[in-house]
Amino acid sequence: MRLIIAEKPSLARAIADALPGRTQRRDGALEVGDTWVSWCLGHLLEPAPPDAYDPRYKQWRLDHLPIVPERWRLVPRHKARGQLKVLRDLLKRADSLVHAGDPDREGQLLVQEVIEHLGWRGPVARLLISDLNRPAVTRALAALQDNRRYQPLYEAARARSRADWLYGINLSRAWTLTGRQAGHDGVLSVGRVQTPVLGLVARRDIDIARFEPRPYHVLWADLTVAAGELRAWWQPGEHHPLDDQGRLLARAPAEALLARLPGAEGRLTRLDARRKRQSAPLPYSLSALQVDAARRHRFSAQQVLDVCQALYERHQLITYPRSDCRYLPEEHRAGMGTLLERAGAGDATLRDWLAGTDFTRRPRAFDDARVGAHHALAPTGKPFAPERLSPPEAAIYRLIARNVIAQFYPMLETREVKAEFTILDETFRAQGREILVAGWKPLFTSRDEAPPLPALTEGEPVTVTNADIDDKLTRPPEPFTDASLIKAMMNIARYVEEPAVKRTLRDTDGLGTEATRATIIETLLKRGYLVRQSGNLRATATGHALIQALPDAATRPERTALWEQRLRTIAEAEEAPGPFLDGLLADLRELLAAADAGRMRQALGETRGLGPTPKKPASGKPASGKPASKKAKASSRRRRSSQSGSSDMTGKSTRRGTRRTTRQGEDT
């Protein structure tokens, strides 16, 4: 008997449907001929809590830290015991086994840890599925690989899990205990990704609060040229008072020049006109989609992830959504026209977009060299019926389809003009943009472009017909939103100060992963460290206090982004997990030595009243974790003593229809 273990029931059903023969439902499994397909419910196992290694760890004490297991253990999740028994019984009868976890690092860990925990000693095949439609699943079943090929991916995922346990358990206990000594009642959760993300928001809030607007002044002039009129802006020289962005801080020089400008004549001294061609934006990765959907539809990052999971699992309209790739396999190009036309036949919007396509084009988005374990989000070809979807589902599907359809449109062609004028020995500049071939552009915006400059000839005379000064104020940084915070996590090198690390992190995956960024934001909201205000994300007083009390290195992104780099080298078999974990332990001991109740007390005092207050959830328990009554306090203390000590490790849950499945809280 062959046993296939899928990551979740929806994937198991798709596999069973693609197998030849009649499917019979069994307890926790599907039987198709001589093949049984069963499933996990997200992670069936979780790292054992500290007291599983030593009962004295039930009591939180600073002198216990760091807690480092000599031999790592996994324990069944409370609601997973029934499914584990199903898998154990099936493995006893199986003579061959297929691992069908999702095609990513966590998917590799999720199924393989169960296989090892249940003691299977035989060979294991690997089934990689990124599209739940029957033809795609059938192709994947015909292309099984040896699971040993993915052992480095498993090692990386396991190293990540253990590192997160060590970091979260020890630092959360340390700062919770120092917080109690300083008068804070509640768990202070520290995570190797969630805390730097909180640090980004807290520092942005402080920059906004401390910002002092400064006036600056912009002098413009309307010019007459042979072919018409245009507006140009004065470029004050360095001998004038300028800020670091070249803005004029004193009005007097502008006033002096303005008085001389009416009727003044000059010449066009430099003209740069270039024709540019621009390809369509690439198909989406999950994070890129979350950024766009937040800007266009005000969807939260978690909402986008949940919608994508529904489109993938329940409706089978899109390919695997938790992808960090923006390219598609070259083999998909030939059939993409038929696939998209079939998908869009029932929707007027998609039909309009498809009318402008040329499927003989060879778009840059189809590039095998840039496709890894999974490819960009794309329609599966299943007909899209918007009336059967919720409005958010239809909106997200159209965004995904649009970015793939746009690959088969002509390039956007523009004429970019930069003109520099000399008037009264001063420099004025103007620039314009003319669209020559709209190409894919109308699929993305209906806004009118700024008018192009009139035809210009270098050296031609110009005359000033009007001029004035616009008085402006510098503006503070914008508060983070879901879109800008996801983008910051994607491009974390911008927020790194050390030049060598900044160079190293440029062009890497950034902070967190595609699968975890939305969860990280929601975790910080639920724990009362962040709140949403009018679409913006702001740090609470508790969030600010935690950031101030922690060592600076624990609140900045360098460490965790470099973790991701190390994990990638492990996943690519370029490094063993041991040195990575040894380095982590050295860092951990250094951080623990900095736990100080005095610093925490000072942080709590300085941040009291700083930041908005999180709303209380319906249960009456504040999001900060502070119990609402004496009875609740006692219950909370008992619960904290019996658990692992860090809610960083509690995992994440995502809605799958009426069933909840859980994967461990990767990178939270």
The residues carrying an active-site annotation are 320
Q: 10 Å Cβ neighbour count for 251? A: 15
> What's the first-to-final CA gap in the chain, in angstroms?
39
User: Cβ(283)–Cβ(327) under 8 Å?
Assistant: yes
C-alpha to C-alpha distance for 181 and 362, rounded to whole angstroms: 65
- Report the amino acid identity of residue 196: P
Structure-block tokens of residue 71: 């031999």
Rounded to whole angstroms, how far apart are CA atoms 623 and 615? 7
Distances 584 to 82, 465, 491, 498, 590 between C-alpha atoms, Å: 36, 67, 24, 20, 10
Helix (H/G/I), strand (E/B), else coil: 655: strand
CA 494 – CA 485 distance, rounded (Å):
12
Q: What is the DSSP letter of 380?
A: -
Question: Can you tell me which residue has the tokens 């970091």?
Answer: 167
Strand blocks (E) in 301-425: 412-423
Chain centre distance of CA 625 = 26
Question: Angle at the Cα of 118 (from 17 to 79), degrees rounded to 5?
Answer: 70
Q: What is the DSSP letter of 311?
A: I
- How many helices (H) and strands (E) are present in the chain, helices listed first? 22, 20
| DSSP class per residue in 552-582 | HHHHSSHHHHHHHHHHHHHHTTSS-HHHHHH
Mapped onto helix, strand or coil, the DSSP state of residue 397 is helix
| 408 closest CA partner among 276, 275, 279, 277 | 279
Query: What is the amino acid identity at position 211?
Result: F
Q: Calculate the CA dihedral of residues 320, 321, 327, 332 and round it to 10 degrees.
A: 30
Q: What is the DSSP string of 236-287?
A: --TTS-B-TT--B--SHHHHHHHHH-TT-EEEEEEEEEEEEEEPPPPPPPHH
